[in-house]
Chain A
Amino acid sequence: MKSSVSRLSLWLLLTPFLLWIVLLVLLPHLQMLRVSFQVRESWDTIAWGVEQYQNFFTESYYWRTFVRTGVMSLFTTFLTLLIAFPIAWYIARLARGRSKGILFLACLIPFWASELVRTYGWMILLRESGLFSSWLQALGWADGPVEMLYNDVAVIVGLVYNGLLFMVVPLVTTLDGMDENLVEAGYDLGGGHGTVLREIVVPWAMPGIVSGCIVVFMLTLGSYLTPILMGGKDSAWFTEQIFTQFITRFNWEQGAALGVLLLVLSSVIVWLGLKISGQSLRKVMG
């Protein structure tokens, strides 16, 4: 009697989780996988094959965009880490009491608006008739309007901005838990600033660094709006091509294949990152 009650409650608690995993994660991905291996022979016959994957490797535009997206995402993640670390250090170690909370809130506030609004915010600043352009002209540093949008730099600026919070939060959490005496001991035993940072602070913050990097990398790799809106003709993002296949060309088979490849890419890079930094997923996410 008692065990059946506890078993029932266990199932009731598990149900939402199982529904979520099965319906929203597992099934769509399995379906995608299946669709990606379907080859349309004529309007009503379908065969199995790897034609879509062959297309990916033979059509240089696909895999070039793929590599570009991966490299730029890695670069964005690295840049976000460089910018977020001092911010997190300040919030976790130097700010005291109220100012700590306020600074943390300041990092959070932009995320009350949607990604679309945030991206348009950057466009207002960077476009030809935008704020920065008119300031440069007013200061006499530019003769005419300057277009700062529609290039890779603008895309990276937007992506870094979108990822910053997700890097700051795990970093603050790990740095917060570090004993001040560890840093002092690092200096006391003869270390300079660089040594203390490299040998003591970074190894300590490694779980936070890796978890922040994973989240930011995934977000960046899978982002759609920012590269579309801020990038130029040459700044193609891989998600854009998936969208084109599904929506514009109605080629679900090709779209599904590209989607599967993106998933494989992000999984491989995250796995490599964990291996190289010597962290385990459990440690980083726990």
Chain B
Amino acid sequence: MGMDSDLFCEGLVRRFGNNAAVDHVSFDVPAGTFFSILGPSGCGKTTLLRMLAGFDKPDDGNIHIRGQRMNDVPPNHRPVNMVFQHLALFPTMSVGDNIGYGLKRRKIPLAERRKRTARVLEQVGLPDLEHRNPQELSGGQRQRVALARCLVLEPTLLLLDEPLGALDLKLREQMKVELKHLQKQFGTTFVYITHDQSEAMVMSDQVAVMRDGRFDQVAPPEELYREPETPFVAGFVGDNNRLSGELLAVRDNLADVRLDDGTLVQGRVASDNLKRGQRAELYIRPESLVLSGDALNSGYSAMQATVRTTLFDGANSRVEAECGGQPVYARLPQDGSAPRLSADSSIRLAWNPTLARVFGADSL
């Protein structure tokens, strides 16, 4: 455990019946960082967060906050505050009373409470809203009040349970950036759970990808994207194409794979113990696929595919093709270099083998 870590968990387990919702999870969050736990619904991330907040108790393992063991500390005595999924602003109190609630519990005198409330509202960009009711605010404003209500208490750790889920797309994009700035501004350690990989990627210093109660990988967003350690991470974080085939050979950290339609391709070895002849899966990102058939580097792998349709989405436009019965997506550059593609025409998709990752099929 690092001396400057705000949150340190070791071997956390929480079982519901025979099913372990959280299964031996250990991690360390350095002070002042933005830590995200990313996973599909039902992966145990909410259970994990509730244990950190104190609403649920681990069956095994320890939670340390700034070096203090927290397992038996009730939620109202933990230096931890939580922004709930639906915010849980107290509807019977004004914005000012919502924010003052926690301060009042600490017996801070009224004048000081007012001062701090006004200051934190200013910091989250909602000056002079103390006397409004939460119901009168917009979704984005309510979000900020919920944040302010926690941040005014200067917690060691701020837990956020997918608070952006209820916002519309545009506001969500805006709040993502805003949250990151607020975290930097306050310097509070954030632990954020989400199923939206884009939220996790944009905001976090570290992202833990969670599946079936365990962490698959904990890494900074870019590393997660470029160097996924498991097929699940490769498929869950960002768009990815999965091509299955048979492993022929491994040399110089490159694996030769024969795809199911017979094409020979290459990719970087991503899992240990790859054996000749075993089933393998090659992951290649849509933006790593090159469309033109000519002007190819000699070292590139290539395969033949049939165009199904093109999906125009501005900078994120893609072509949907099919190769040996498997769908493949490739990014269509919008600088005019992309060829015109008609349905059912044949294209060659090529890639630099170091950008593709090969996993054993059984390691999923």
Contact = CB atoms under 8 A, between A and B. Distances in A.
B283 to A, nearest CB: 38
Contacts of A206: 92
Nearest to B99: A189
B17 interface: no
Interface in A35-88: none
Nearest to A201: B92
B91 A189 contact: no
A199 B75 contact: no
B101 interface: yes
A140 interface: no
B82 A188 contact: yes
7 contacts: A179-B88, A184-B55, A187-B75, A188-B80, A189-B150, A190-B77, A191-B101
B91 A204 contact: yes
A195 interface: yes
A187 B88 contact: no
A124 interface: no
A192 B75 CA distance: 9
Given A185-B82, A199-B101, A190 B106 contact: yes
A277 B49 CA distance: 38
Interface string B78-89: 001110111010
A151 B95 CA distance: 51
B86 A191 contact: no
Interface in A180-200: 181-182, 184-192, 195, 199-200
Contacts of A190: 76-77, 102, 105-106, 153
Contacts of A185: 82, 84, 88, 90
Contacts of B55: 184, 187-188
Given A181-B88, A184-B88, A192 B82 contact: no
Interface range on chain A (Cβ under 8 Å from partner): 10 to 19
B53 interface: yes
A14 B73 CA distance: 61
Nearest to A195: B105
Interface in B45-103: 53-55, 74-77, 80-82, 84-86, 88, 90-93, 101-102
A187 B75 CA distance: 6
Given A184-B55, A204-B92, A189 B84 contact: no
Given A188-B81, A189-B153, A203-B92, A181 B86 contact: yes
A203 B77 CA distance: 24
Given A185-B82, A185-B84, A191 B92 contact: no
B149 interface: yes
A188 B91 CA distance: 16
A104 to B, nearest CB: 26
Nearest to A206: B92
A195 B100 CA distance: 13
Contact of A192 (B53, B76, B81, B106): B76
Interface centre among A190, A195, A203, A206 (most CB of B within 10 A): A190
A200 B93 CA distance: 9
B102 A189 contact: yes
Listed from nearest, the 7 A-B pairs whose CB atoms lie closest are: A203-B92, A190-B105, A181-B88, A189-B102, A185-B88, A181-B84, A187-B75
Interface in A91-129: none
A181 B90 CA distance: 10
Given A185-B84, A189-B153, A190-B106, A200 B75 contact: no
Contacts of B77: 190
A191 B90 contact: no
A204 B91 CA distance: 8
A147 to B, nearest CB: 47
Given A184-B55, A185-B82, A199-B101, A191 B88 contact: no
Given A189-B81, A189-B149, A204-B92, A184 B86 contact: no
A191 B102 CA distance: 7
Contacts of B101: 186, 189, 191, 199
Given A184-B82, A189-B105, 15 more contacts: A181-B85, A185-B84, A185-B90, A187-B76, A188-B55, A188-B81, A189-B76, A189-B101, A189-B149, A190-B76, A190-B77, A191-B101, A199-B93, A203-B92, A204-B92
